[in-house]
Protein backbone atom coordinates (compact mmCIF):
# COMPACT_ATOMS: atom_id res chain seq x y z
CA UNK A 1 0.00 0.00 0.00
CA UNK A 2 2.76 2.39 1.04
CA UNK A 3 4.68 1.48 -2.08
CA UNK A 4 1.70 2.25 -4.26
CA UNK A 5 1.27 5.63 -2.53
CA UNK A 6 4.98 6.39 -2.95
CA UNK A 7 4.78 5.52 -6.65
CA UNK A 8 1.78 7.79 -7.10
CA UNK A 9 3.17 10.57 -4.89
CA UNK A 10 4.27 12.76 -7.81
CA UNK A 11 0.78 12.47 -9.32
CA UNK A 12 -0.87 13.29 -5.97
CA UNK A 13 1.48 16.25 -5.42
CA UNK A 14 0.82 17.34 -8.97
CA UNK A 15 -2.95 17.17 -8.42
CA UNK A 16 -2.63 19.07 -5.12
CA UNK A 17 -0.54 21.73 -6.85
CA UNK A 18 -3.10 22.10 -9.63
CA UNK A 19 -5.95 22.35 -7.10
CA UNK A 20 -4.01 24.92 -5.04
CA UNK A 21 -3.24 27.01 -8.11
CA UNK A 22 -6.88 26.84 -9.21
CA UNK A 23 -7.95 27.92 -5.73
CA UNK A 24 -5.53 30.85 -5.79
CA UNK A 25 -6.85 31.70 -9.22
CA UNK A 26 -10.46 31.70 -8.02
CA UNK A 27 -9.54 33.74 -4.96
CA UNK A 28 -7.62 36.20 -7.10
CA UNK A 29 -10.60 36.55 -9.41
CA UNK A 30 -12.90 37.13 -6.42
CA UNK A 31 -10.51 39.74 -5.03
CA UNK A 32 -10.32 41.52 -8.34
CA UNK A 33 -14.07 41.47 -8.94
CA UNK A 34 -14.86 42.64 -5.40
CA UNK A 35 -12.25 45.36 -5.85
CA UNK A 36 -14.02 46.51 -9.00
CA UNK A 37 -17.36 46.58 -7.20
CA UNK A 38 -15.95 48.59 -4.31
CA UNK A 39 -14.18 51.17 -6.43
CA UNK A 40 -16.81 51.75 -9.08
CA UNK A 41 -19.26 54.65 -8.86
CA UNK A 42 -22.03 53.87 -11.34
CA UNK A 43 -23.62 57.08 -12.66
CA UNK A 44 -26.93 57.87 -11.02
CA UNK A 45 -29.92 57.69 -13.35
CA UNK A 46 -31.64 60.57 -11.53
CA UNK A 47 -30.01 63.95 -10.93
CA UNK A 48 -29.93 65.24 -7.35
CA UNK A 49 -33.28 66.54 -6.08
CA UNK A 50 -34.04 70.25 -6.24
CA UNK A 51 -33.25 72.04 -2.99
CA UNK A 52 -36.82 72.33 -1.73
CA UNK A 53 -37.58 71.85 1.95
CA UNK A 54 -41.22 70.81 2.36
CA UNK A 55 -42.36 71.92 5.79
CA UNK A 56 -45.43 70.73 7.60
CA UNK A 57 -47.96 73.50 8.14
CA UNK A 58 -47.38 75.20 11.49
CA UNK A 59 -49.83 74.64 14.32
CA UNK A 60 -53.06 76.61 14.31
CA UNK A 61 -52.01 78.91 17.12
CA UNK A 62 -52.40 82.66 17.00
CA UNK A 63 -48.73 83.52 17.54
CA UNK A 64 -48.25 84.18 13.82
CA UNK A 65 -50.87 86.94 13.97
CA UNK A 66 -48.12 89.39 14.99
CA UNK A 67 -47.11 89.25 11.29
CA UNK A 68 -50.45 90.55 10.02
CA UNK A 69 -49.63 92.94 7.17
CA UNK A 70 -45.96 91.92 7.12
CA UNK A 71 -44.04 90.84 4.05
CA UNK A 72 -40.69 89.04 3.89
CA UNK A 73 -38.45 89.77 0.86
CA UNK A 74 -37.34 86.10 0.70
CA UNK A 75 -40.95 84.96 0.11
CA UNK A 76 -41.19 83.94 -3.57
CA UNK A 77 -45.02 83.69 -3.59
CA UNK A 78 -46.59 86.84 -4.96
CA UNK A 79 -49.49 88.11 -7.03
CA UNK A 80 -53.12 87.06 -7.17
CA UNK A 81 -53.85 83.31 -7.15
CA UNK A 82 -56.16 83.53 -10.17
CA UNK A 83 -55.64 84.35 -13.85
CA UNK A 84 -58.97 86.19 -14.01
CA UNK A 85 -57.70 89.77 -13.69
CA UNK A 86 -61.26 91.07 -13.25
CA UNK A 87 -61.10 89.45 -9.80
CA UNK A 88 -57.86 91.16 -8.77
CA UNK A 89 -59.73 93.34 -6.32
CA UNK A 90 -59.68 93.21 -2.54
CA UNK A 91 -63.48 93.37 -2.63
CA UNK A 92 -63.31 89.63 -3.35
CA UNK A 93 -61.49 88.91 -0.08
CA UNK A 94 -64.09 87.38 2.21
CA UNK A 95 -61.84 86.49 5.15
CA UNK A 96 -58.58 88.16 6.11
CA UNK A 97 -55.46 86.77 7.79
CA UNK A 98 -56.04 86.20 11.51
CA UNK A 99 -59.62 87.37 11.15
CA UNK A 100 -60.98 87.24 14.70
CA UNK A 101 -64.42 86.25 13.43
CA UNK A 102 -63.02 82.97 12.05
CA UNK A 103 -63.17 80.76 15.13
CA UNK A 104 -63.35 80.68 18.88
CA UNK A 105 -60.11 78.80 19.51
CA UNK A 106 -57.89 79.53 16.53
CA UNK A 107 -57.28 82.21 13.93
CA UNK A 108 -57.54 82.18 10.18
CA UNK A 109 -54.07 81.37 8.80
CA UNK A 110 -54.59 82.66 5.26
CA UNK A 111 -56.86 84.63 2.95
CA UNK A 112 -60.25 83.56 1.58
CA UNK A 113 -61.37 84.81 -1.82
CA UNK A 114 -65.04 84.77 -2.83
CA UNK A 115 -64.24 83.81 -6.41
CA UNK A 116 -66.91 82.18 -8.58
CA UNK A 117 -67.24 78.42 -8.95
CA UNK A 118 -64.85 77.22 -11.67
CA UNK A 119 -62.51 80.24 -11.56
CA UNK A 120 -58.95 79.21 -12.45
CA UNK A 121 -56.50 79.06 -9.54
CA UNK A 122 -52.86 79.62 -10.50
CA UNK A 123 -49.44 79.08 -8.94
CA UNK A 124 -48.07 82.28 -7.40
CA UNK A 125 -44.39 81.26 -7.69
CA UNK A 126 -42.09 78.98 -9.66
CA UNK A 127 -42.31 76.02 -7.30
CA UNK A 128 -42.36 72.29 -6.75
CA UNK A 129 -45.65 70.42 -6.37
CA UNK A 130 -45.49 68.71 -2.96
CA UNK A 131 -49.11 67.56 -2.76
CA UNK A 132 -52.09 67.63 -5.11
CA UNK A 133 -54.97 65.75 -3.54
CA UNK A 134 -57.63 65.68 -0.85
CA UNK A 135 -57.07 67.27 2.56
CA UNK A 136 -59.58 66.76 5.39
CA UNK A 137 -60.11 70.48 6.00
CA UNK A 138 -58.98 72.08 2.75
CA UNK A 139 -60.67 69.58 0.39
CA UNK A 140 -58.99 69.35 -3.00
CA UNK A 141 -55.74 71.10 -2.22
CA UNK A 142 -52.43 71.90 -3.89
CA UNK A 143 -49.32 72.42 -1.76
CA UNK A 144 -46.41 74.13 -3.50
CA UNK A 145 -42.97 74.82 -2.00
CA UNK A 146 -40.10 76.95 -3.21
CA UNK A 147 -36.92 77.06 -1.15
CA UNK A 148 -38.09 77.19 2.47
CA UNK A 149 -41.50 78.71 1.61
CA UNK A 150 -44.77 76.89 0.95
CA UNK A 151 -48.29 77.87 -0.13
CA UNK A 152 -51.61 76.02 -0.07
CA UNK A 153 -54.60 76.50 -2.37
CA UNK A 154 -57.69 74.88 -0.87
CA UNK A 155 -61.35 73.90 -1.42
CA UNK A 156 -60.77 73.47 -5.17
CA UNK A 157 -63.63 72.01 -7.19
CA UNK A 158 -61.20 70.17 -9.43
CA UNK A 159 -57.43 69.77 -9.64
CA UNK A 160 -55.44 70.15 -12.84
CA UNK A 161 -55.17 66.52 -14.02
CA UNK A 162 -51.45 66.58 -14.82
CA UNK A 163 -50.19 67.82 -11.43
CA UNK A 164 -47.88 65.33 -9.73
CA UNK A 165 -45.73 65.55 -6.59
CA UNK A 166 -42.12 66.30 -7.44
CA UNK A 167 -43.06 68.23 -10.55
CA UNK A 168 -41.60 71.70 -10.99
CA UNK A 169 -44.08 74.24 -12.31
CA UNK A 170 -43.83 77.88 -13.25
CA UNK A 171 -45.70 80.84 -11.82
CA UNK A 172 -49.09 81.17 -13.51
CA UNK A 173 -49.61 77.42 -14.04
CA UNK A 174 -53.28 76.51 -13.55
CA UNK A 175 -53.63 74.34 -10.44
CA UNK A 176 -57.38 73.75 -10.63
CA UNK A 177 -60.69 75.55 -10.25
CA UNK A 178 -62.41 77.24 -7.30
CA UNK A 179 -64.95 75.10 -5.47
CA UNK A 180 -66.35 74.15 -2.07
CA UNK A 181 -64.65 70.86 -1.19
CA UNK A 182 -63.53 69.99 2.34
CA UNK A 183 -64.61 72.07 5.31
CA UNK A 184 -66.15 75.04 3.46
CA UNK A 185 -69.48 76.77 4.02
CA UNK A 186 -69.52 78.28 0.55
CA UNK A 187 -67.62 78.47 -2.73
CA UNK A 188 -64.29 80.17 -2.09
CA UNK A 189 -60.52 79.81 -2.43
CA UNK A 190 -58.45 79.41 0.74
CA UNK A 191 -54.86 80.58 0.20
CA UNK A 192 -52.11 80.54 2.79
CA UNK A 193 -48.32 81.00 2.83
CA UNK A 194 -45.94 79.69 5.48
CA UNK A 195 -42.34 78.91 6.32
CA UNK A 196 -40.74 77.40 9.40
CA UNK A 197 -41.51 80.57 11.37
CA UNK A 198 -45.24 80.05 10.82
CA UNK A 199 -47.97 81.46 8.59
CA UNK A 200 -47.53 84.81 6.87
CA UNK A 201 -50.19 87.26 5.74
CA UNK A 202 -50.68 86.76 1.96
CA UNK A 203 -52.36 90.18 1.59
CA UNK A 204 -49.12 92.22 1.13
CA UNK A 205 -48.01 89.74 -1.58
CA UNK A 206 -51.04 90.28 -3.84
CA UNK A 207 -49.84 93.49 -5.44
CA UNK A 208 -46.25 92.29 -5.97
ZN1 LIG B 1 -59.65 80.10 4.64
Which CATH number covers residue 171?
Answer: 2.70.70.10
Least Cα distance to 198 among 63, 27, 1, 69 occurs for 63
Q: Which residues are in the CB-under-5-Å shell of ion ligand 1?
A: 112, 190
23 in the same domain as 87:
no
pLDDT at residue number 54: 72
Would residue 118 count as lying in a domain?
Answer: yes
Q: How many domains does the chain have?
A: 2
Would residue 49 count as lying in a domain?
Answer: no
Distance (angstroms) between ligand 1 centre and the Cα of 149 equals 18
Strand partners, 111: 191
79 in the same domain as 20:
no
pLDDT at residue number 60: 66
Mean pLDDT split into 10-residue runs, the chain, 208 residues: 53 46 41 38 43 73 87 97 97 92 75 98 97 96 96 98 95 98 96 94 95
pLDDT at residue number 11: 55
pLDDT at residue number 22: 41
Distance (angstroms) between ligand 1 centre and the Cα of 148 equals 22
Distance (angstroms) between ligand 1 centre and the Cα of 129 equals 20
Coil, helix or strand at residue 145: strand
122 in the same domain as 24:
no
Least Cα distance to 92 among 185, 182, 189, 186 occurs for 189
172 in the same domain as 95:
yes
Distance (angstroms) between ligand 1 centre and the Cα of 95 equals 7
- pTM assigned to the model: 0.73
Distance (angstroms) between ligand 1 centre and the Cα of 112 equals 5
Strand partners, 169: 127
- Domain extent at residue 135: 63-205
pLDDT at residue number 34: 37
Amino acid sequence: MATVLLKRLPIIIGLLLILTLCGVGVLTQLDVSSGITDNSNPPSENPPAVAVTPINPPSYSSDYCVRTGDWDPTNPFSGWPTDNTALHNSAFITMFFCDSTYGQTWEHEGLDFGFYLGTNVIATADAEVIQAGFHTLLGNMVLLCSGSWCARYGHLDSLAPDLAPGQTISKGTILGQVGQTGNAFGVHLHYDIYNEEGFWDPFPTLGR
